[in-house]
Amino acid sequence: MTQMILVSALLALLFLPLELSWWRMAFFRKWIPVRYILGIIYGVSLFYFGLLDQSLTAIIAAYLPIIGIGLIVDNTLIFMFKKSFRKKQATTGAAIGLIVLVGFAIFWLIQPLFLADVKFDLADGEEVTVEEMDPVNEENIPIVPRSYAQYRSNVLMGQLENPAFYTLGETRIQRADESLYWITPIEYDGIFRWYRSDFVPGYIRVSAENPREEPELVYTEMNYVPSAYFHENLERHVRTEYPEIVMHDTTFEIDEEGNPFYIISYGHFTEFRRVAEVDGVVTINPASGEMEKYDVENTPAWINRIYPPHIAEERNTWFGIYKQGLINRFFGREGLTQPTEWGADDAVTGVVNADLQLNWFTDHMRLQNEGEEASNSMVGFTMFDTRTGDLNYFRDASGMLNGRTAMNLAERTFRRDDYVPGTPSLYNIYGQYTWVVPLMDRNSVFRQVMLVSARDENVYGHGETKREAFGAYQLELSRNIDEDIVPGELTDMVEITSTVERVYQWDREDNVTIRLLLEGEDRIFTVNASSYPRSVFIEPGDEITISFMDSGEDIQVIEELDF
């Protein structure tokens, strides 16, 4: 706080007139204290209320225009009120101010034209293949969309003693208790509610893996939050301790014991505030305000994200459009791509690997011309590691369905129900690139999850639960898989002979699916009548021999049947 006041007072000197004649005239001299006070107010507005970092480039960008405007105004006013002030002198002084302003504006406009190579090198995309994308366990694939998590969190807010005092903060996905959850902090609903409240009562967590799991309202006292004011405002609290850092992003996370922390990703700018670099995080205990600063390499393992989504988004864009420099961007356009616009809130979406480490995902399509209809296929996709900033580009997905197409297919499939698709995510499921698309009704209530093969839009499965959707998708995948792929390559093939205990036939439009319970087996086995027409005649007590891909799930699709 003290440093902020001293810096504001020092920089307020730039508000004082640079033309000596201003100081010599009593009429103008009386305005000098007023201008100095305005300079202090300007500095306090920037650094205290605006939370601007006190770095050299920030000061230059904020105060250089002040110098230019001051030269123009001072020389114009002196020329108007002092007859002895020569026109040439006034013109020269005002021209210098105009040059400062115009020169700064030109620099600001044309500088990006020379940064294409710098931005592409910083994105540092590495081309990898599907073999380097570990398959994710079914249980750990998030299917609950953010909007549904927000809906359930909003319902739970009614349990608070004074729910009208509070509102929901930003909902973020993260790892907790070896599962994935949407975590939403509670925030103050305005300055008057902040003044009347002693503290924020806690946070809400909603399962990202199971839509039927009950959400939990965790009561814990939090004083330093983004929606608080003055000394209790979270970012202002950090700024007083670290005045020079650039605060890129603020998020809310919980540690292994469920203790709440706010995490601020910090860093600096290069290329005169055009390129953002991430240096680490600052953790803030919202109850006590205690802070710890970590660089990227030493950030605690429980923190899910160091690199915020907007940095992942811009580096994806740089990686796609700045291959081979700026000239190729506008003329040659060789090999250029752009992230697919899904029409959703998220430009990138969080997905997890086999170790539940978070990545920012987006797929790429070929670079589009202005007004051109969006492509339905992707030329690849990227995974941006939220902790290291590494960007991996999976080009072997070229020609497959992009996220927009998967959303359109899901919407068409449930047009009669008027369901709305959520943001899609791409995973390696059964050794295949697969889109996972949640579907909600118009009230943001979760209804279905749909799995769509990125290789073929005719191969998909859906269900009200994850297990049901995976079972249906596995069945369709086994029926429609390309001949050059052996089903056993997806997982281990097992053959068993057993007696049928129970039979259930499921009529599905123009097809019939038979589900079987076998003696000595806890799992359900399914077979499609179009693949084995005689399966409709199976009855309890029949002895059958089946082969199936043992994925370890409760529902297994029969690949071969003999009885």
DSSP state of 450: E
- Angle at alpha carbon of residue 306, lines to 301 and 310, rounded to 5°: 155
pLDDT of residue 340: 81
Tens of pLDDT, residue by residue over 399-455, are 888 888 899 999 999 998 999 998 888 888 877 889 999 999 998 899 999 999 998
Here the tokens at position 225 are 């939050």
Here the tokens at position 85 are 């002030």
CATH number assigned to the domain covering 487-562:
2.40.50.140
Residues 6+ apart with CB under 8 A from 387: 296, 299, 303, 304, 305, 306, 307, 357, 358
Q: How far, in whole angstroms, is CA 368 from its chain's centroid?
A: 23
Number of Cβ within a 10 Å radius of residue 202 = 19
φ and ψ at residue 358, rounded to 5 degrees: -80, 140
Residues of the chain with pLDDT under 70: 83-84, 131-132, 134-137, 342-346, 370-374, 478-492, 508-511, 551-553
pTM, entire model: 0.82
123 within 8 A of 323, measured Cβ to Cβ: no
Tens of pLDDT, residue by residue over 115-128, are 999 999 999 988 88
Q: Name the residue ranges covered by the structural domains of the chain.
A: 2-113, 121-129+309-397, 145-298, 403-480, 487-562
Task: State the SS3 of 452-478.
Answer: EECCCCCCEEEECCHHHHHHHHHHHHH
Report the length, in residues, of the chain: 563
What distance in Å separates the CA atoms of residue 410 and residue 449, rounded to the nearest whole number?
Answer: 9
475 within 8 A of 526, measured Cβ to Cβ: yes
What distance in Å separates the CA atoms of residue 109 and residue 119, rounded to the nearest whole number?
Answer: 16
pLDDT of residue 468: 81
- Angle at alpha carbon of residue 208, lines to 438 and 182, rounded to 5°: 120
Residue written as tokens 């030493």? 298
pLDDT of residue 75: 86
Q: Following DSSP, what letter does each residue of 201-255 receive, concatenated?
A: EEEEEEESS-TTSPPEEEEEEE--BTT--GGGBHHHHHHHH-TTSEEEEEEEEE-
DSSP state of 130: G
pLDDT of residue 86: 75
Residues 61-96 as b/e (b if ≥16 CB within 10 A, e otherwise) read bbbbebbbebbbebbebbbeebeebeeeebeebbee
Here the tokens at position 546 are 């089946």
